[in-house]
Structure 1
Amino acid sequence: MKDRFTRFISRANVRVYRTTGGRLWNSMLGMPVLLLTVNGRRTGIARTKPVIYFEDDGSYVVVGSLGGEPTEPLWFRNLRAASTAAVQVGARTTDVDVLVVEGEERERLWKKATELASFFTAYQARTDRVFPLARLTPRA
């Protein structure tokens, strides 16, 4: 039941965000939301999800937290398999290059994420899984 409700809210969020050019449903838990469109790793079908993000050096950074669940979100698995995606921030849609960050860069961005959104720390405490982070850099 919870998964059905979550899917319903996610689809509604995408619809409202797109219809209003990002003027409505553009934030969650005090953080900005973008619409991430990435092809499915197995199906190749483009899927769009509302995702919390923060900016870093001209890129958008997203965290695959799934609220502290033990498994990685499907949208992040698809992102791992992709080299490009598209994001809508407000009314503007942009193609982006995808880079899953590792090592020192991941640690720096994780620190920034937890400073901007303390709920990530609480989510991390719920699981042993290390949350992946991806840098989405607008294409020239």
Structure 2
Amino acid sequence: MNPVARTLMRTASKLAVAVYKVSGGRVGGRAAGGVPVLLLTVAGGKTGQPHTTAVGYFEHEGGYLVVGSAGGLPQDPQWFKNLRAAGFAQVQVGRQVRQVTVRELVGAERDAAWTDVVLVRCPPFGRYETKTTRKMPLALLTPSS
């Protein structure tokens, strides 16, 4: 991605997070296709500094199922890489803030969640995998308290 596009995306992301926080999710609480949005805060893999991003999710098994789609780009999004490294994070859903543990779904469990949850609830996600050679990674964020 070129530097101008990267800067624009980062600025838009920061604005989306700020608006979500101020409005308690009333603005920015839904993505395309009606998918609910949460704010995910996770430590950066290199710096350890917390980073917050708005992420669509699906309620699943008492937690939040998130997809590292990056819109079908060739690489996993940085926030997903940070989740893998950290193993825990913080989410804000509306005004409620919770600590969560992170478990990446792999193999048959990942494939079943992709087919039975993600594609059933939001079929347009299927287009992202057709844009790239990678499988969209999935993680289940389970509240720890």
Instruction: Tell me if TM exceeds 0.5.
Output: yes
Query: Which residue of 97, 101, 111 maps to 1:97?
Result: 101
Question: Could you give the per-residue CA deviations for residues 29-66 of structure 1, whole angstroms, max 9, x where no partner exists?
Answer: 12110000000111000000000100102110000010
Q: State, as a whole percentage, how many aligned pairs show the same letter.
A: 44
Give 3-state SS (helix, strand or coil) of 1:100's partner: strand
Amino acid at match of 1:17: Y
Query: Which residue of 6, 28, 31 maps to 1:28?
Result: 31
Query: Which residue of 105, 124, 127 maps to 2:129?
Result: 124
Amino acid at match of 1:10: S
Question: Could you give the per-residue CA deviations for residues 52-89 of structure 1, whole angstroms, max 9, x where no partner exists?
Answer: 10010211000001000001100000001011100000
Amino acid at match of 1:132: P
* Mapping 1:54-69, distance limit 5 Å: 54-69=58-73
Amino acid at match of 1:118: P
Query: Which residue of 96, 100, 110 maps to 2:114?
Result: 110
Give 3-state SS (helix, strand or coil) of 1:6's partner: helix
**Which residue in 2 is equivalent to 1:84?**
88
Give 3-state SS (helix, strand or coil) of 2:18's partner: helix
TM-score computed with the length of structure 2 as normaliser? 0.93
- Alpha-carbon offset, residue 7 of structure 1: 1.1
TM-score computed with the length of structure 1 as normaliser? 0.97
**Which residue in 2 is equivalent to 1:48?**
52
Amino acid at match of 1:101: L
CA distance in 2, matches of 1:108, 1:55: 15
**Which residue in 1 is equivalent to 2:6?**
3
CA RMSD, aligned part only?
0.8
Relative to structure 2, which stretch is displaced further, 32-41 or 116-125? 116-125
- Alpha-carbon offset, residue 121 of structure 1: 0.7
Provide structure 1 residue ranges, at least 5 long, that are not aligned to the other structure: none
